[in-house]
Amino acid sequence: MSERATAASPVTPLQQRSREADRPTSQLALFGPDQPLRLDCGVDLSPFQIAYQTYGQLNPERSNAILVCHALTGDQHVANVHPLTGKPGWWETLVGPGKPIDTARYFVICSNVVGSCMGSTGPSSANPATGKVWGLDFPVITIPDMVRAQAMLVDRLGIGTLLAVVGGSMGGMQVLQWASAYPDRVFSALPIACATRHSAHNIAFHEVGRQAVMADPDWRQGRYFEHDVRPQRGLGVARMAAHITYLSDAALHRKFGRRLQDRQNPTFSFDADFEVESYLRHQGSSFVERFDANSYLYLTRAMDYFDLAADHGGVLATAFRGTRTRFCVVSFTSDWLFPTPDSRSIVHALNAGGARVSFAEIETDKGHDAFLLDVPEFFDIARAFLDSAAAARGLGRTGTAA
């Protein structure tokens, strides 16, 4: 691939379905050839676009902006009806009027990461050099690449310093990268259920998912759009395997146990006899309707490559040395994807770097997905932390300078 790659902004099939839906579509920030995104792989991505949503009003001082970073298969629709699924925003438990991230007080930004498939430039976008979908010719992206693109969006919106950057899982990785790369632009940071690097355990699960996608005959070496097919079976299996890691054994047992699905006796076949089997198949089939298979490969790989310490000479504390950003690190007791020791490592590095940091381990059996679910203790902690940050920055209850 040449030193300067290009990525146009045509409408992909997923985006077209979004635009055809009888609901508002995302805002788009277009960056031309004069504003390339420098990627860690050494490629300049240009032109490119970022799809994003905003909620609330930016105050005259431009001091009440909060950036929400989405997780692996999330998107920009954090607090509005999703244009493809018709479902509520993926974090409406936390974001909205009167919620901990109060859109009556804060100006909330959520962008679709570069490499994804909900409007931002990624492998399902068209390559202007060929007129075909990028597919695997799209350059490999990283968490720092995503954050650099978000910084360009924040610049475009005329915002110097963010009141807070908030996110869980892959979104939490972005929060940590923001705080490390742009410490003067992040007043407070709320990384949730995440780590400063992906573990071998998590990389292994991602590889299983990628291999499931690539083993699907309809994947066609990543060129399925050219053949008017999609690797639905492989992507569905990948989603099923990943979804297991988002839950805990206790949560699965409480929800399903060993109950049979709509029958009194087993069929002695390979149908979905158990409720948990039917649930996972539903998760897989519904996922393939809204997500691009190649984007799944790219985003899982971006998480695998994330290693904040390695980017700072192998010393994690160096990533945060001298920072003035306020931190609140949150973990959940039943999260085996990003267990509490991962969060404690973040806290230790922040302490070594002289940062102002608080830490909360929340007791729950809901697993990794707890940050997306109804966990009142988490809501209380998030609200208190953001209230404290707003007060320290001189914001009143209405989001304007006190």
The domains located in the chain, with CATH, are 4-201+309-392 (3.40.50.1820), 203-299 (1.10.1740.110)
Interhelix angle 170-181/293-305, rounded to 10 degrees, is 50
* From 18, 46, 63, 169, the catalytic residue: 169
Per-residue exposure over 171-210, b if at least 16 CB sit within 10 Å of its own CB, e if not: bbbbbbbbbbbbbebbbbbbbbbbbbbbeeebeebbeebb
- Each residue's pLDDT tens digit in the chain (402 positions)? 333 333 333 444 444 433 333 334 689 999 999 999 999 999 999 999 999 999 999 999 999 999 999 999 999 999 999 988 899 999 999 999 999 999 999 999 999 999 999 999 999 998 878 888 999 999 999 999 999 999 999 999 999 999 999 999 999 999 999 999 999 999 999 999 999 999 999 999 999 999 999 999 999 999 999 999 999 999 999 999 999 999 999 998 898 999 898 888 888 889 888 999 999 999 999 999 999 999 999 999 999 999 999 999 999 999 999 999 999 999 999 999 999 999 999 999 999 999 999 999 999 999 999 999 999 999 999 999 999 999 999 998 888 887
Cα atoms in the 13 Å half-sphere on the side-chain side of 374:
0
CB-count exposure of residue 62 (10 Å: 0-12, 13-18, 19+): middle
Query: Which residue, among 133, 118, 113, 127, has the nearest Cα to 39 in the 3D structure?
Result: 113
Q: How far apart are CA 318 and CA 308, in angstroms?
A: 10
Please tell me what DSSP assigns to residue 178.
Answer: H
Active site residue 169: yes
User: What is the DSSP secondary-structure string of 50-93?
Assistant: EEEEEES---TTS--EEEEE--TT--S-SSS--TTT-PPPTTTT
> One of 292, 335, 342, 369 is an active-site residue; which one?
335
| Known catalytic membership, residue 335 | yes
Catalytic residue, chosen from 180, 295, 368, 369, is 368
Q: Which pTM does this prediction carry?
A: 0.93
Q: Which two tokens stand for residue 114?
A: 């570069």
Strand partners, 27: 52
CA–chain centroid gap for 337, Å, is 15
Q: 111 an active-site residue?
A: no
